[in-house]
């Protein structure tokens, strides 16, 4: 029988102390007026991110972010590049304090946040990410006439149950209705034609959902109604260079890590009409030894979801200079 030596004990302690970390970037809905201002004031590299985005878009998006009207910032063509800029500014602040992205095993982002993760990992430039997200927002808004589409949050039912209800609503309405975001074990967002979504809400309430409510969105994202936007994004993505990310990206579409540039491009197109498999993405990371996740960007919505998916994962949030200054890493 092998005697336990001091070396064995040291090795065990070392293995226990190794943290497997992932960074995640929020999606639409996390935007707020003033986000990132403290970062730009504290870190010149964070300020440079906002300047680069302004230059890429040919407009002062930073003025809208810091001093504008929330209704204008919430317009999807503004919110998408703004939230990407915010996540990248947080990363630059972290790097200024000594953080190294290569200490992470994976990156991921919720919907548009996937573009933030790709820019962090140097698969695409910040300028290209800004232009792509502006185009993505406009294409998604233009894909469906205002008032035709809708989205709703279903709370208290799991994804499989909600998916069966959307299939039923789609058949009976009739009209497109899909499970768009599998956010956590008890939160699923559905998307589609308004009449079908309303029918699915009624079915969900009959099934015992805690809540089933329409969301204040301008278009039905992540469903087949977005097919015209997907075609537009394919054209846009074909026009830019995507490099191998320095840290693998856990894709919304496949719910597993990817690094091949062609696969990344293909899945970004599929993401426009496909479900955001967030719950499965977090479970995949947990199964691949991730035990700490940092939410990098505006808000704490993803952390709430992750806590409900796997309570054993340690969470940290970074959205301000104060958060970064008080961190230990």
Active site residues: 111, 222
Is there a contact between 90 and 45 (Cβ–Cβ < 8 Å)? no
Among all chains, which residue has been given the structure tokens 């958060």? 323
Alpha-carbon distances, residue 304 vs 45, 158, 283, 315 (angstroms): 29, 16, 15, 9
92/40 Cα distance (integer angstroms)? 10
Q: Kindly report the three-state secondary structure assignment for every residue of 253-270.
A: CCCCEECCHHHHHHHHHH
Instruction: For residues 78 and 64, give the distance between their C-alpha atoms in angstroms, rounded to a whole number.
Output: 9
Provide CB contacts within 8 A for 96, sequence distance 6+.
Answer: 43, 45, 46
**Residue 151 in contact with residue 194, Cβ under 8 Å?**
no
On the 0-12 / 13-18 / 19+ scale of CB atoms within 10 A, 164 is: middle
Q: For residue 216, give the 3-state DSSP assignment.
A: coil
CA nearest neighbour of 241 among 132, 104, 91 = 132
Distance CA 67, CA 49 (A): 17
Strand partners, 214: 152
């Amino acid at each position: 029988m092998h005697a336990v030596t001091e070396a064995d004990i040291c090795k065990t302690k070392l293995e226990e102390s190794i943290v497997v970390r992932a960074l995640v970037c929020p999606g639409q809905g996390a935007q707020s007026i003033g986000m990132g201002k403290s970062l730009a004031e504290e870190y010149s590299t964070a300020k440079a991110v906002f300047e680069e985005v302004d230059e890429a878009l040919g407009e002062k998006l930073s003025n809208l972010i810091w001093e504008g009207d929330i209704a204008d910032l919430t317009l999807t063509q503004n919110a998408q590049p703004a939230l990407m800029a915010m996540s990248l500014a947080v990363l630059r602040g972290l790097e200024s304090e000594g953080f190294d992205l290569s200490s992470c095993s994976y990156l991921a982002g919720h919907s548009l946040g996937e573009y933030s993760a790709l820019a962090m990992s140097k698969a695409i430039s910040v300028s290209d990410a800004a232009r792509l997200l502006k185009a993505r927002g406009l294409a998604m808004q233009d894909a469906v006439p205002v008032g035709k589409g809708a989205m709703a949050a279903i709370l208290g039912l799991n994804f499989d149950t909600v998916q069966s209800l959307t299939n039923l609503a789609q058949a009976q309405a009739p009209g497109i209705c899909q499970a768009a975001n599998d956010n956590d074990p008890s939160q699923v967002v559905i998307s589609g034609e308004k009449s079908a979504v309303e029918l699915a809400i009624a079915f969900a309430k009959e099934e015992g959902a805690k809540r089933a409510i329409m969301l204040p969105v301008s278009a039905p994202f992540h469903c087949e109604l977005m097919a015209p936007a997907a075609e537009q994004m394919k054209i846009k993505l074909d026009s830019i260079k995507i490099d191998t990310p320095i840290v693998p990206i856990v894709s919304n579409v496949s719910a597993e890590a990817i690094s091949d540039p062609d696969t990344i491009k293909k899945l970004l197109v599929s993401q426009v009409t496909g479900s955001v498999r967030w719950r499965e993405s977090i479970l995949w990371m947990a199964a691949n030894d991730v035990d700490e996740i940092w939410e990098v960007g505006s808000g704490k919505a993803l952390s709430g979801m992750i806590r409900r998916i796997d309570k054993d994962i340690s969470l940290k949030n970074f959205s301000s200079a104060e958060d970064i200054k008080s961190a230990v890493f």
